[in-house]
Structure 1
Amino acid sequence: MLARVSRRLLARTLLGTALALPLFGISAAHAAGPVLTVEPDQAATQTVSGTVVPYREVTLTAQSAGRVVDVAGAEGDRFEQGAVLVAISDDRLRAQRQAAEAEMRTAEAAIREAQMQYGREMVSPQSRSIGQMPGMGVPSMFDQMFTQPMGQVMGMGDPALDRRTDLYSRYIGVDQAQARWEQARARVTELDAAIRDTRSEAPFDGLVMHKHVEEGDTVQPGQPLVSFGHVEFLRVEAQVPVRLVSGLQEDDYVQVRLDTGDEVEARVARIFPLADPQRHTVTVKFDLPQGVRGGPGMHAAVHLPQGELSSNRVVIPRSALIPGGALPRVAVLDGEGHVRVRMVRLGGGRGDQVVVTSGLEPGMQILARPGAGVRSGQPVGRGSPDSGVGRRDGVTDPWSRM
């Protein structure tokens, strides 16, 4: 008889301790008992799709029309910076350059002739010989001493103005010849740049990702030639909904699962400042660890934190769901210690736990193992035997059988 009383007292003590634990803020993770405190979902994430892209990628295009005379390597071949990847014929451009050089030499000759004419005008003005009588001796002297001065007095000429006009005309001739030479030189420089553009060089160390042309093809300006990328480092580019971008900052780390099955941590490298007005998403790039398996074009699943939206999500054990019924329900304890049956909306499952998206809030207390017969209004400890809560009024006590 004494042993039976001792077992009953021990059982009552254990039950009272289990019921009192949640009141001191101890959650189900630290105390095993019929009542647990609802905790927020710390691991609430949402998955968005992304694509693995090179760290840097360019598409080289044709700058002039012509025939492709050389394509270096094939897809996957690596080249160093400055290596010629595609070459286009430049025969027509070189012929035009020769013509421009001939124009430049003609302009140089015109410059020398104009300078000589200007020097002659400085030494022997042409205006002095205009209107003079031919020959030498008395007629010429009479013309210079009497005829021209008398004509100037009568308003029939101005030798000084004529001289200034002749000098200015010779100077303009030199300037025009110089301009023609500079124009020809600019044409030669332009053709040199065009000839240089017929050689598409690697802008950085990388590999050929895709060839758009083959040797012998005829291309036009703007036509793609080859796609070249730096793939020693890889990135994931994803279109992230605007509501999830607020929870991201540059240099943060997120979980990324690749098609190869590898799950790695990726660094948030860049968040674009503007959203797509059509899809209402923001482009975000994530840096993958160096040496990760795979290559550009692979699919990647990016797990992003849900930010403020995750504060309303909680995780509870599956055993906390009331058995039976068409809709999921839980037994919530109110401030007076009574049971309140509440319907909840469930999210995804995580082993022996389940995510509750609505119906519960962090800090609420619920029954950890409610029975199918639990009803609203029942006080804690006064339920049916299958409610999971023992009655302590001595009428029905599951520990009384001990």
Structure 2
Amino acid sequence: MLRRFSGIFVLSIGLLVGGEALSSEIIEVGSHKDVEHVYLGGSVVPYKEVTLSAQMPGRVEYIAGDEGDSFTAGTLLVTISDENLLAKRKAAVAQYDQAVAALQNAQVQYNRELWSPRSENATQMPGMGMPGIFDQMFTKQIGDTLGYGDKDVQRRADLYNSGASVNQAQSQVRSAREAINQIDAALRDTRSIAPFDGTIIKKMVEVGDTVQPGMPMISFANMDYIRIQTEVPVRLVPYIKVGDTVKAYLDVSGVMIPAKVAQIYPLADKSKHTVTVKFDLPIGTRGVPGMYAEVSIPVKNSKPSTSIIIPKSSILKHMGSLPSVLVMNDKNEAELHVVRLGKKVNGGKSFTVLSGLKPGDRIIDHPPRNWKPGTPIK
């Protein structure tokens, strides 16, 4: 029976191999025109990834989990010893209390000078008993008359001195408070918090390790979504833009899947002359960071190329290390042809053929597994 599938003539043939009926078909290969594509290798990366590094020196006291453990945003992941900082904080609190006491005393002295000036207090004048009274009644008055002293100036000077003491005490209180805040900030740096929902993908330290500022401790990533990151030659960057959809291939799936251009870096690498591009993969795509991946970049201004496509099911793999197909000759006899395969198409169900076939050749789809040269196909 002659049937037509997508412009290809197919002839059904029933074969018996080892008592098992196989449905083999003779199909006529055709040509396929497509825009030129450039295939670029890359790696799977998480949607978000951070490396939590030590901000303070110390000893690792706590790690929330191991690689593969997931945590929500705000979860404590790593803590570093803080005994030294806690001791410094207690000392800073004591200095703060002293500064507050000094401020209160300075305010009391200022208020006393404001309401009971020392310049008018008899007990503050030189002498004791009758000499003090004499100084208060006669010496001060004579001095004012002769211009030897001015009680108003003395009062303002005493008041200013008391006010300066208050200001100095306030500055000491602020300085002590900021010292406490500085230590509190250092204490916060001994605790690494999950910045978002994610998973620990790598641990660089263990409990008991000694760390220094800048030393990486764990890598934390959001694995709900994955991306492909690849280096695109500068000449191909004009052919893509953010939001475009291209085809991608992952080793884990073995099929082509759509990938959306998510980010194009603004600068090119000076040595490689490439631009880093990230592609978003569909939700639920299986993959792990570091996995090999490929993306297909269409060269839109190129002339359409003609290629031969054959189904994956027509390829013989048991005849040797090289892929082969059975080709029908003019005598309706099957011949083994070694082919060179190109890229996967149609979701991985077909391959392009770079050499070994020409348009119009007839090949066997679903060939018998035990076929040997010279075996007739009727």
Question: How many residue pairs are counted as aligned between the two chains?
Answer: 288
How far 1:194 moved relative to its partner? 1.7
CA distance in 1, matches of 2:298, 2:148: 98
**Is the Cα contact below 8 Å between 2:119 and 2:151 reproduced in 1?**
yes
Sort the Cα spacing of 1:147 and 1:219 in 2 relative to 1 into closer, same or farther, 3 A.
Answer: same
Q: For residue 160 of structure 2, what is the amino acid of its counterpart?
A: Y
Q: Does 1:299 align with 2:292?
A: yes
Query: Which structure dedicates a bigger proportion of its chain to strand?
Result: 2
**Gaps spanning 5+ residues in structure 2: where?**
1-6, 8-30, 309-341, 344-350, 361-378
- 286, 289, 293: which one aligns with 2:279: 286
How far 1:229 moved relative to its partner? 0.3
CA distance in 1, matches of 2:291, 2:354: 32
CA distance in 2, matches of 1:57, 1:246: 28
Is the deviation greater in 154-163 or in 263-272? 154-163
CA distance in 1, matches of 2:36, 2:307: 13
Q: Does 1:118 align with 2:93?
A: no
- 188, 195, 214: which one aligns with 2:187: 195
What TM-score results when the alignment is normalised by the length of structure 1? Answer: 0.66
**Is the Cα contact below 8 Å between 1:246 and 1:307 reproduced in 2?**
no
- 240, 247, 258: which one aligns with 1:265: 258
CA distance in 2, matches of 1:78, 1:199: 18
Indicate the residue corresponding to 1:134 in structure 2. 127
What TM-score results when the alignment is normalised by the length of structure 2? Answer: 0.69
Q: For residue 298 of structure 2, what is the amino acid of its counterpart?
A: P
CA distance in 1, matches of 2:255, 2:153: 92
How far 1:186 moved relative to its partner? 1.4
Q: For residue 95 of structure 2, what is the amino acid of its counterpart?
A: E
**Gaps spanning 5+ residues in structure 1: where?**
1-28, 30-38, 318-347, 355-367, 370-402
**Is the Cα contact below 8 Å between 2:35 and 2:300 reproduced in 1?**
no
CA distance in 2, matches of 1:115, 1:351: 91
- 71, 78, 82: which one aligns with 1:90: 82
CA distance in 1, matches of 2:117, 2:353: 112
How far 1:209 moved relative to its partner? 0.5
- 135, 157, 168: which one aligns with 1:176: 168
Query: Which structure dedicates a bigger proportion of its chain to helix?
Result: 1
Q: For residue 204 of structure 1, what is the amino acid of its counterpart?
A: F
Q: How does 1:240-389 map onto structure 2 within 5 Å?
A: 240-260=232-252, 261-308=254-301, 310-311=302-303, 314-315=305-306
Structure with higher RCO (Cα < 8 A, 6+ apart): 2
**Is the Cα contact below 8 Å between 2:307 and 2:352 reproduced in 1?**
no
What CA deviation, in whole Å up to 9, does each residue of 1:277-324 have, x standing for no partner? 22221111100112212210011111101132x13x54388xxxxxxx
Q: For residue 306 of structure 2, what is the amino acid of its counterpart?
A: V
Indicate the residue corresponding to 2:213 in structure 1. 221
CA distance in 2, matches of 1:51, 1:292: 14
Structure number with greater Rg is 1
Q: For residue 276 of structure 2, what is the amino acid of its counterpart?
A: T
**Is the Cα contact below 8 Å between 1:70 and 1:87 reproduced in 2?**
yes
**Is the Cα contact below 8 Å between 2:246 and 2:297 reproduced in 1?**
yes
CA distance in 1, matches of 2:306, 2:180: 75
Q: For residue 140 of structure 2, what is the amino acid of its counterpart?
A: Q
How far 1:196 moved relative to its partner? 2.1
Indicate the residue corresponding to 2:369 in structure 1. none
CA distance in 2, matches of 1:64, 1:316: 61
Sort the Cα spacing of 1:239 and 1:103 in 2 relative to 1 into closer, same or farther, 3 A.
Answer: same
CA distance in 2, matches of 1:353, 1:263: 19
Sort the Cα spacing of 1:164 and 1:352 in 2 relative to 1 into closer, same or farther, 3 A.
Answer: closer
**Is the Cα contact below 8 Å between 2:229 and 2:276 reproduced in 1?**
yes
How far 1:152 moved relative to its partner? 3.7
CA distance in 2, matches of 1:316, 1:142: 124
CA distance in 1, matches of 2:352, 2:212: 60
Percentage of identical aligned residues: 47
What CA deviation, in whole Å up to 9, does each residue of 1:250-274 have, x standing for no partner? 1111011112223211001111222
SS in 1 for 2:55: coil
CA distance in 2, matches of 1:351, 1:54: 32
